[in-house]
Amino acid sequence: MKGLCNMMIFGLLFLLFFWGGLIAFAIWLVKSLFASSQRFSRTSPDRELNASKILDQRYARGEITREQYELMKLDIH
């Protein structure tokens, strides 16, 4: 009878760890998916600013003409 009780406790603990781990994994997965979507939305304006700065620098160095600069500026915005 004592062996049966020990097996039941082991089974209960196994189930608790299994379901706890599964739930923890699901929570981690959902958090990581939402975190990655927020990362992409936060970097979009930064990329636009960087492209605008790069374009300004290229124009200032004389690498592109005024017409090219204006066309590229319209493409960025």
Instruction: List C-alpha distances in Å: 8 to 4, 20, 41.
Output: 6, 18, 50
- Is 55 within 8 Å of 69 (Cβ atoms)? yes
**Mean per-residue pLDDT, 6-33:** 92
DSSP assignment string, the chain: -HHHHHHHHHHHHHHHHHHHHHHHHHHHHHHHHHHHHHHHHHHHHHHHHHHHHHHHHHHHHTSS-HHHHHHHHHHH-
Q: What pTM value is reported for the model?
A: 0.44
- Is the pLDDT confidence value at 49 over 70? no
Predicted confidence (pLDDT) per residue in 32-42, tens digit = 888 876 665 55
